Structure 1
Amino acid sequence: MGLLLVLAIPVPVSAQASPATSSTIKQGYWWYAPPPKAEEPREPDPEALVRPVIPPMAELASWTPPKIRKLIEQQRDYAATVLTVDAVSDFWRLQDFARRKARAFAGVTQIAMLQHPELNSKSANPMVGDARSELTAYKDDVRRRYLRAHAGEFALVMFSRSTCGYCRVQWPIVQRFQDEMGWQVTLMDIDRRPELGQRFGVEVTPTTMIIRRNSQQRMVIAAGIEAYPNLTQMAYQAVKLLTGDIRPEQFMTGAGEEDGFFDALANGPVSASDPRSRASDMLGGDLVDLPAGPK
């Protein structure tokens, strides 16, 4: 009788598990809900527009030039994007700061040049007209005396073609060099003698070359038309290099500028290599037989 009473007790509908619920949701010791997936951190967009932080000018004055330049570039890009008066004004304030800093550096530089004249190019390169004319005349005289002293040791060869109009312009300049320096000059037409162009590696005409007699050394001093002052300057430098009077590092040292402001090796050697061996390696070649006189 008691068992029948228990079975007769109604069960609430809400307590009954529906088949769908019992099959889809399982909780307990052996069943658990998986943790929610964590969102992956997003990398900052390098192209994102960020307003630069401009420090006080007193702090900015202690920054290095590369750091200041980077801030100016950032502010420029920001101002060009947003196009507001404030942003553009901030950019030009930074530019004004950089301009004043540069002028301050220039002012201190001027004082340093006065206190250390050996660092000032004006000591070797005067800007006054009369002084420059005097310097030019002095350099011309140094070059002329040096090249005349080596006239018997070197010769000048100009390679040309019969169809080369520029060669007809360059040849009188080369002949003037012969008249003033006393050198032998030779005209070689590589149309008539193509083996010469191959032998000397000449493709462009006119090409003017210095050749050392009874030696393997030669050097191109002009490719194309070259004015007479430049031709004599290059000839002077080439002869000094080939004779070992200067090193390759001094090739831009002009006449009379040795041991001065424009001499790369004046205040200590830049390179410790042997100048003669280096010049020989750079300027060597086959032995050259020159005609007895100009052609």
Structure 2
Amino acid sequence: MSRLRVALAAALVLIAPTAHAQSRDDARTGYWWYRAPPKPPQETTDPDALAKPVIPPMAELATWTPPKIRKLIEQQRDYAATVLTVDAVADFWRLQDFARRKARAFAGVTQIAMLQYPELNAKSANPMVGEARDQLSAHKDQVRRQYLRGRSNEFALVMFSRSTCGYCRVQWPIVQRFQEEMGWQVTLQDIDRKPELAQRFGVEVTPTTMIIRRNSQQRMVIASGVEAYPNLIQMAYQAVRLLSGDIRPEQFLTGAGEEDGFFDALANGPVSATDPRALGGDLVGASLEPQP
């Protein structure tokens, strides 16, 4: 009997520290100790699972932003195309009708804004009436021609061609007309005979018409392929103004006589980070809010 008690006592001595350690570990399980409890398994949901969109009342829908409305319309469209019920499809078209009426309302308010702030209206610089448009086009053409004639001693026109290029035979008379009317020096270069010119000027397509500034490395392609004469004049005008520093690249679409007007991209200040004036404070303190 005494031997049994001794054996039980020895077993308790061996077991007790292990049980105590296990209970101590269990007691220290939690966020206040060094070990966090295991997280419950997360339920994965199928993003493509079919779910009926919740369409709010009209008063609430009117306060939503266009991106939020567009997302709801897309959800309702996908839902209606899946279930193909009359009610679901009707709800989709009700949302479409709401978007249509909202766009119509925006257009109406825009019309009022254009009348109250004519500087925002293209009609102030681009009349729609036929007679006025003809007069405007004639004025722009005169401005371009006078400008190009005044630069005839500073720039030249080069057309690169090949002997096998049929389009070149169409373009060359157009370039020659430019020489006759603008007084520029015009040169025809056959890159089949002078392949080094093609490599030097980066010409791969013929015909290629290029403006070159005399005594300078400045040059600019104004036509690749056959170009009509009025377009050739317009592109030459824009290119010379750019190479001369009269305009910035952002103003390349600013036509003759449109400087500081509605169609001048820089009329009200810089619009790009590359413009040196962007850091000069031209727009500092300026407000885009309507002025009384």
Structure 2 length-normalised TM:
0.79
CA deviation vs aligned residue, 1:64-90 (integer Å, no higher than 9, x gap): 000000000000000000000000000
Shift of 1:245: 1.0
The CA distance in 1 between the partners of 2:131 and 2:145, in whole Å, is 21
Structure 2 counterpart of 1:35 = none
2:71 is the counterpart of 1:67: no
- Residue 276 of structure 2: SS of its match in structure 1? coil
- Structure 2 residue identity aligned to 1:44: T
- Residue 49 of structure 1: SS of its match in structure 2? coil
Output aligned runs, 1:70-81, within 5 Å: 70-81=71-82
Distance verdict in 2 for CA 1:215–1:41, change over 3 Å: closer
Output aligned runs, 1:205-224, within 5 Å: 205-224=206-225
Structure 1 counterpart of 2:144 = 143
- Residue 234 of structure 1: SS of its match in structure 2? helix
- Residue 54 of structure 1: SS of its match in structure 2? coil
Shift of 1:39: 8.6
Structure 2 counterpart of 1:183 = 184
CA deviation vs aligned residue, 1:30-63 (integer Å, no higher than 9, x gap): xxxxxxxx99442111111000000011110000
Output aligned runs, 1:99-110, within 5 Å: 99-110=100-111
Structure 1 counterpart of 2:123 = 122
- Residue 210 of structure 1: SS of its match in structure 2? strand
2:276 is the counterpart of 1:273: yes
Structure 1 counterpart of 2:203 = 202
Output aligned runs, 1:275-294, within 5 Å: none
- Residue 246 of structure 1: SS of its match in structure 2? coil
The CA distance in 1 between the partners of 2:276 and 2:226, in whole Å, is 34
- Structure 2 residue identity aligned to 1:256: G
Structure 2 counterpart of 1:231 = 232
Greater relative CO, 1 or 2 (CA 8 Å, sep 6+): 1
- Residue 231 of structure 1: SS of its match in structure 2? helix
The CA distance in 2 between the partners of 1:273 and 1:229, in whole Å, is 33
Structure 2 counterpart of 1:9 = none
Output aligned runs, 1:3-82, within 5 Å: 40-82=41-83
CA deviation vs aligned residue, 1:171-227 (integer Å, no higher than 9, x gap): 111111111111110000000110100010000000000000011110001111111
The CA distance in 1 between the partners of 2:266 and 2:177, in whole Å, is 33
- Structure 1 residue identity aligned to 2:49: A
- Residue 265 of structure 1: SS of its match in structure 2? coil
CA deviation vs aligned residue, 1:250-286 (integer Å, no higher than 9, x gap): 1110011001001111111335439xxxxxxxxxxxx
Structure 2 spans left out of the alignment, 5+ residues: 1-18, 20-38, 278-292
The CA distance in 1 between the partners of 2:158 and 2:118, in whole Å, is 43
Structure 1 length-normalised TM:
0.78
The CA distance in 2 between the partners of 1:42 and 1:62, in whole Å, is 34
The CA distance in 1 between the partners of 2:156 and 2:79, in whole Å, is 64
The CA distance in 2 between the partners of 1:135 and 1:41, in whole Å, is 69
Q: How many residues align?
A: 238
- Structure 2 residue identity aligned to 1:166: Y
The CA distance in 1 between the partners of 2:275 and 2:249, in whole Å, is 12
- Residue 87 of structure 2: SS of its match in structure 1? helix
- Structure 2 residue identity aligned to 1:273: P
Structure 2 counterpart of 1:286 = none
- Tell me which stretches of 4 or more aligned residues in structure 1 moved more than 2 Å: 38-42, 269-274
Structure 2 counterpart of 1:163 = 164
Q: Which has the larger radius of gyration?
A: 1
Identity level (%): 83
Structure 1 counterpart of 2:96 = 95
Structure 1 spans left out of the alignment, 5+ residues: 1-28, 30-37, 275-295
